[in-house]
Amino acid sequence: MPEKSDHLAVLFADIVESTALYRRLGDVDALRVVSACLDSMKAVLPAYRGRLVKLLGDAVMCIFPDADHAVGAAMAMQRAIAELRPGGLDLQIRIGLHTGPVVVGSEDVYGDTVNVAAYLADAATPGQILIAESTADELEPELRESVFPIFDAVLKNTLAPTAVCEARWRDDFALRTHINLHIRRSIPEDAGSMVLEVGGREARVDHWHATLEIGRAPESGLVVTHAMASRRHATIRLDRTQFYLVDHSTNGTFVTRASGEEIHVVRREVMLEVRGEIRAGFSRDDGRGPCIGFYRDRRSLYRV
């Protein structure tokens, strides 16, 4: 399908603390639980004229023709996950959605509307559905009655102040009817930088340089000269407010978390936490080799 512009609703829904599931249950059982949640969310789409754009690991990105269908689907997703309890676990999702102009391609959707929806999902707490006031204003009266403002924000695509609203989907939800004027956020928030250091060299991943290649190839953003490293070993990428390592290598990448736990990542991706170490192709127990230290620098770097 060729690219075209349209006014749509974009929705992101994330499974809360899915990374912890893999640590608790192991890869096989955690994947089964996550897949059940994703299938449950996707099953909602036909009834609300929704289309799955793509899966983002533990999240779905969807589009809808308008705000009513998107908010209806978001509420249905929350109810479905609340009732699902895969593996006997009480899981939660957080949802952000936004309406506006988008560019629709064959495999993705682009534009500021997408960015705002994604960051609203990141700003949501477990079990929450967040929308901007402009989206709330597009809702039919029956749905509009379930929406109330909870904090002020500045949308970076317009720099205009707005209220961020919560769409209430449970009857027992604590009703908050006023904007908290003491809370002001910027949507999207600044993710800061991920700083990587090896052998006295430093590289950053941020909103201006959203990917970094690691490997033996001289053109790599961070060159690692070690026999176990592949020429194109791994990529560090920024996705919304989180940083991920994506392994492309033969021997895999070993990531040591701040807790001291070491995980072996082979041809998959893992979210990087606040700080830790990366080794290309070998474990910390296998002897000496170049260790890439990384840490999250949360100082604001956004150029408004």
Amino acid letter, residue 82: A
Alpha carbon distance 19, 95 (integer Å): 17
Same fold, 4-187 and 193-297: no
- Nearest one of 47, 117, 42 to 84, comparing CA atoms: 42
Q: Say if CB 253 and CB 268 are below 8 A apart.
A: no
Q: Say what the pLDDT of residue 160 is.
A: 65
pLDDT value, residue 300: 41
Q: How far is CA 119 from CA 95, 131, 169, 191, in A?
A: 10, 10, 20, 10
Indicate the domain borders of the chain. Answer: 4-187, 193-297
Determine the Cα–Cα distance for residues 55 and 12; give it in Å rounded to an integer. 10
pTM as predicted: 0.62
Res 278: pLDDT? 97
Mean pLDDT split into 10-residue runs, the chain, 304 residues: 79 87 82 91 97 90 97 97 84 94 87 87 90 95 91 68 88 48 51 86 85 94 92 90 90 92 90 92 88 81 32
The pLDDT of residue 122 is: 83
The per-residue DSSP string of 121-137 comes to HHHPPTT-EEEEHHHHT
CATH of 193-297 among 3.30.1330.120, 3.30.70.100, 2.60.200.20, 3.30.70.1350:
2.60.200.20
Q: Which CATH number is correct for 4-187, 3.30.1490.20, 3.30.70.1230, 3.40.50.970, 2.60.40.10?
A: 3.30.70.1230
